Structures are given as structure tokens and as C-alpha cells.
Amino acid sequence: MSKILVTGGTGYIGSHTTVELQKEGFEVVIVDNLSNSNIDVLNGIEKITGIRPAFENIDCVDYVSMDRMFEKYQDIDAIIHFAANKAVGESVEKPLMYYRNNLVSLINILQLMPIHKVKSMVFSSSCTVYGQPDILPVTEQAPIKLAQSPYGNTKQIGEEIIHDTLAANADLQSIILRYFNPIGAHASAEIGELPNGVPNNLLPFVTQTAIGMRKQLSVFGNDYNTPDGSCVRDYIHVVDLAKAHVIAVKRLLEKNTNAQIETFNLGTGRGLSVLEIIETFIKVTGVDVPYKIVGRRSGDVEKVWADPSYANNVLGWTAAETVEETLRSAWAWEQNLAKRAEII
Ligand code: UFG
């Protein structure tokens, strides 16, 4: 059984990926410092799969602890490196925190891989590296634009660090996955997105408003050059995204590729506006979401959606879930969270 290290494994995408890995027979070791997640996520994973993954409360920035962790779990076959800060606005306020956490953790992992004879890494990148693309849908060949935020810059620099490191070490292999906007939750509603404090991202704000935790959702701008004036994104079900990681890991471990580095867009290929998301959510759940139009949020790109054909053709992967089902799953998760809070 192959052993996979999942950094950030109690986080939103990390926990869903852990479930899919375990379902496919992989053994998972999670490293997470719980800075933006909760230890209870392990219970959710165990409820779904019947397996509690190994867990180490370690900050990937801590080289010595990471080194010890690799010693403890001998024979890690591959790494999926999710652990990172990801709030665009916060990164503008605290740039050094973002550069330290997102880049030092990656450098530590790349440095420790050859020492512990781990050859394969899947890296969490983002469509944020494209900024506002000139041509839509955006392909992997689109130029990397000047980053709009320190967060975005950490993803661009992270990709460069991987390219430079692998150029100097022919034994290492990596797949870089550029995510569009992950939303939704596992169908069991046992795990989902659980941001600390006031959500930055659209979907948790929508579901928290629907459940009554927030009075009103702010829609950031309706004067963009889009059909209804609100921003357009490519929203992808988090479980579809998780499944792509399993395929990527298998591709590296089963040596289905000769390329040392490959980069894939992970999106649906469909752009939806903020207002379309709100309207579809209201339609499929029957629950109202009070909202008001406010000014633009600084740093937002107007519209971006993926050309996922490279991932479709080469990985044999497609985002399968409909946006309706995805929004229903996000709502089921929010309701489950509310139920749990009542019990406590
Ligand atoms: N939005 C609102 N109101 C809100 C929150 C968001 O109108 O309360 C709008 C935004 O303006 C944007 C859209 O909803 O038009 C999506 O916003 P998100 O914050 O959910 O996601 P982003 O498209 O800003 O994506 C960013 C980065 C990604 C990163 C993602 C997760 O570009 O790389 O945040 O943090 F992965």
C-alpha cells in the first residue's frame, strides 16, 4: 500500500483528498498545524472511510520537526502539499507571513524529499497565477501575469521554486495543479469548508447567510464587463478536485508520464457570475439569501474560467458534478454544522 503525506490534510481540500485517497487504498499521513482547521475533521474522515489517518500537529515551516516526521513514517511514497495560507486580503496585510509560511514550507519539503528518498510531489497552485487572462477560457499556456497579491505571488514563486529545484535534481518529479474555485462538500456532509471567523470566500458566506449566521451577503461590484455585471469564476466541486489529486499521485507513482513536471488546470470550463451562484443556490435549496450590491473588492479579477481540456485528455479526468448538486452539498454541510452546534 502506497503511503502519501498530505500536508494541510485537515483543511478544506486536504480533507476531501484524504477521503478519496483512502477510498483508493492509499495510506495517508496528515501533517497540519491546525492554524486554519480543526482536529474534529479527523472524525469526519473516519466516519466516511472507516479509517482514521495518521496525524501529526506540525508546522511545515519547522524543518527539524518535518525531518523527524519523515524519519518516523518511513517509506513515504509521495507528497501532496496543500498546507498554505490562502486569503488574498490577509496576504496584503501580512505579506511576510504569507511568504514565510507558503514558501519556507515548500522549500523544506523539497529539501527533505531527496534526504528521505521521496521522489514525487503534487503541488497546490491556483488560477490566480493567470491574473486577468487576455483570452478565455484560459489554458496552461497563458502567460503568467504580475501577481495581484502576495498570496498570488507565493503561488507563482512556488511554481518557479519547483521548476528550478527539479532542474537541478533529475530524480524528483512533480505535478502542479492550478485550481479554479473549489466549492461544495462531501455528499455525507461529514466534512466541508469550515473557515475560521468571517469567511472571505463566496460560498461559505452564502451558506452562513442562508442559515442566519450573517445578516446579508455583500456582492462585490455589479459594474464589471460581464453579462450581469458581477464577477465570473469557474466553480468546481471539491470532491471532483480531490479525485484529480488521486489521479495525479497514481500518475507519478505508476510512472505513467515521462515528464518531470506537468501543470494542469482543474476547472469545469464553465464561468458563472456571483449573481448566478446566488440565484442558483436559492433555487435549489428554497432558502433565501439576502444580499446587497456593494463596491468592488480590491484585487478581484473580472472573469476567469478554465480550459480543462489538457487535464480531461491527459489525466482522463473531468469535473463531473453539476453546480446545482455542488450548491446542495454546501448547504447540507452548513445545516449539519448548525445541527452539531445545537447539540453542543
Ligand atoms: N464575493 C462576493 N462576496 C463575498 C465573497 C466573494 O461578492 O462575500 C465574490 C468575489 O468578489 C469574487 C467571487 O465572489 O468575484 C469569488 O470570490 P472568492 O473569494 O470565493 O474566490 P476568488 O475568486 O477571489 O479566489 C481567490 C484566489 C484563489 C484562491 C481562492 C480561495 O484567487 O487562488 O481565493 O481563497 F484559491
How long, in residues, is the chain? 344
- 66 and 60 in contact (C-beta within 8 Å)? yes
What is residue 223's predicted lDDT score, i.e. its pLDDT? 98
Indicate whether residue 202 lines ligand 1 (CB < 6 A).
Answer: yes
Give the model's pLDDT for residue 299: 82
Q: Which fold has domain 3-183+235-266?
A: Rossmann fold (3.40.50)
More confident residue, 146 or 331: 331
For residues 34 and 39, give the distance between their C-alpha atoms in angstroms, rounded to a whole number.
7
- Closest by alpha carbon to 282, among 330, 319, 240? 330
Band (161; pLDDT cuts 50, 70, 90): very high
* 219-247 tens-digit pLDDT: 999 999 999 999 999 999 999 999 999 99
The reported pLDDT for the residue numbered 344 is 64
CA of 60 to the centre of ligand 1 (A): 26
- Euclidean distance between CA atoms 180 and 136, whole angstroms: 13
212 alpha carbon to ligand 1 midpoint, in Å? 21
Asked if CATH classification 3.90.25.10 holds for the domain at 202-232+270-304+321-343, the reply, yes or no, is yes
Position 6 confidence tier, pLDDT thresholds 50, 70, 90: very high
Of the chain, the percentage scoring pLDDT greater than 70 comes to: 100
Q: What is the pLDDT of residues 274-311, one digit of tens each?
A: 999 999 999 999 999 999 999 999 889 999 999 999 99
Residue with cell 534526504: 115
Does pLDDT of 341 surpass 90?
A: no
Distance, CA 299 to ligand 1 centroid (Å)? 10
Q: Once rounded to an integer, what is the mean pLDDT over residues 12-31?
A: 98
Classify strands 181-183 and 235-237 as parallel, antiparallel or unpaired. Answer: parallel
Positions marked catalytic: 151
pLDDT band of 330, cuts 50, 70, 90? very high
pLDDT at 343 over 80: no
Produce one character per residue of 32-52: b if its CB has 16 or more CB atoms within 10 Å, e if not.
bbeebbeeebbebbeebbeee
Q: Looking at residues 37-49, what average pLDDT do you find?
A: 97
For residue 283, the CA-to-ligand 1 centroid distance in Å is 21
The number of the ligand 1 atom at minimal distance from the alpha carbon of 183 is: 20
Whose C-alpha lies nearest to ligand 1, atom 6?
202
Among protein residues, the one whose CA lies closest to atom 31 of ligand 1: 86
Cα 252 to Cα 173: distance, rounded to the nearest angstrom? 7
State the pLDDT at residue 297: 92
Nearest atom of ligand 1 to the alpha carbon of 199: 8
Domain boundaries, the chain: 3-183+235-266, 202-232+270-304+321-343
**The predicted structure's pLDDT at residue 88:** 87
- Is the CB–ligand 1 distance for residue 128 below 6 Å? yes
Q: Let me know if the fold of 3-183+235-266 is the same as that of 202-232+270-304+321-343.
A: no
pLDDT (0 to 100) of residue 196:
82
Q: Rounded mean pLDDT of 183-205?
A: 95
